[in-house]
Amino acid sequence: MTEERKSLVLEKLSSRFGAAILATHSDLGDDTALVARDKIVEICTFLRDDTDLLFALAIDITGVDYIDESPRFEVVYHLYSIEKKIRVRIKARVPADDPAIDSVSGVWSGMNWYEREAFDMYGIRFNNHPDLRRILLPETFVGHPLRKDYPKKMRQPTLGRGE
């Protein structure tokens, strides 16, 4: 029963968006879809509003730095449907020379800060974000610490006064 339901998400996505769904898997029971980055807002709106899915609660957004792969960065979205009690993970790859993707903070207002955090930590830019600035680190911080090429032992002054 749950197995059928779970694949329903991926099936619906594939039939609706076709070529924009680049890959899917359900390893360890986590339904996952890798999607084209230019379709992300459309896909998220569909997931939120489709009456069979209703992913009204966005859980998390984060980045992953696959430094040896191309495209280098992955933006990972975790969604939960309160109504249907199912989860889905949406991923989109963005390249190192243009790490940008459209913001979904218009779809779920709670994702605003998660996108800011991904920007802060990985330098991924979210287009049309209302307020894209650093969130955990000070404005004077240089670089993006969770990138794999940022040395772990690097130290920066924490109480800069800016200009």
Helix (H), strand (E) at residue 44: helix 40-49
Q: Please name the residues in contact with 1: beta carbons below 8 A apart, sequence gap of 6 or more.
A: none
Choice from 6, 37, 72, 78 touching other proteins (CB under 8 A): 78
Other C-beta atoms within 10 Å of 73: how many?
23
Contact call for residue 36 and other proteins (CB under 8 A) = no
The dihedral sign for the CA sequence 131, 137, 141, 143: negative
Contact call for residue 89 and other proteins (CB under 8 A) = yes
Choice from 57, 71, 100, 140 touching other proteins (CB under 8 A): 57
Choice from 82, 127, 128, 130 touching other proteins (CB under 8 A): 82
> Interface mask (CB under 8 A) for other proteins, residues 6-25, using x and -?
--------------------
Contact call for residue 85 and other proteins (CB under 8 A) = yes
Choice from 22, 95, 109, 128 touching other proteins (CB under 8 A): 109
- Round to whole Å and give the CA distance between 98 and 36: 14
Phi, psi of 89 (to 5 degrees): -120, 125
Tell me whether residue 18 or residue 29 sits nearer to other proteins (CB atom): 29
